[in-house]
Amino acid sequence: MSKKDKDILDEQKVVQENETLEQDKADSKENEKSTDPVDELKVEIEKEKERYLRLFAEFENYKKRTTRERIEMFKTAGEDIMKSLLPVLDDFERALKEIEKSEDDGLFTGVKLINNKLRETLKSKGLEPIEVKMGDSFDAETHEAITQIPAPEKKLKGKIIDVVERGYTLGDKIVRYPKVVIGQ
C-alpha cells in the first residue's frame, strides 16, 4: 500500500470519527431532556477529551512519518551521488596503474594525492570499499560473479580468483557489489 493510499485511509478514518462524534452529540441532545445537566456536561467533556487524544495521536503519527520520509530522502539523495562517483574512483585506479608504469614520479604522486583526497572525502560521507581478496569464499549475497574459469589450483574451486570491479557500501547498505571471477 502506497503512502498516498495510507494518507487517504487516515483521512477517511478521521471523517468517520467526526461523523460518529456528531451522531453521538445528536443522540446526547435527545437524552438531554431526561438527564441531569451535570451528567450531560461530564459526557460532553469525555467525548471532547477522546476527540482531543485521537487528534493528538494522529498528529504525532504524522510527525513521525514525515521525519522518516525526510531521513529516507536524504539517504537516497546521498546514495545517488555516491553511485555516480564510483566510476570516477574506478578511473582513478586505472590511471594510477598506468602512470605507475611511466617514469614520471611527480605525475604519479600528484594523481595519487588527488585520488586519496577524493577517497577520504567519500569515506567521511560513509562510503566504504568492500574488501575482497583472491582466495576468499564466494558469497552470492555480497559478490556478483561475472564469469567462471577453470581454477588454477584445486583449493581455489568455488573461491574468488580475481576482482574485476570493486564493491562499496554506504553505511550498512551495499551500493555496488564487487564483480568477481570464480574458480570452477
What pLDDT was estimated at residue 77?
75
**Alpha carbon distance 147, 180 (integer Å):** 7
Mean pLDDT, residues 102-129 taken together: 90
**Alpha carbon distance 148, 142 (integer Å):** 17
Give per-residue pLDDT as tens, 128-180.
999 998 888 888 899 999 999 988 888 888 899 999 999 999 888 899 999 99
**Confidence band of 4 (pLDDT split at 50, 70, 90):** low
Mean pLDDT, residues 34-51 taken together: 88
The set of cell numbers assigned to 63 is: 510527525
What pLDDT was estimated at residue 47?
95
What pLDDT was estimated at residue 45?
95
- Judged against a pLDDT cut of 80, whether residue 124 lies above it is answered with yes
**Confidence band of 54 (pLDDT split at 50, 70, 90):** very high
Mean pLDDT, residues 49-78 taken together: 90
What pLDDT was estimated at residue 168?
93
Give per-residue pLDDT as tens, 68-110.
999 888 777 788 888 999 999 999 999 998 998 888 888 889 9
- Judged against a pLDDT cut of 80, whether residue 25 lies above it is answered with no
What pLDDT was estimated at residue 42?
92
Mean pLDDT, residues 53-75 taken together: 91
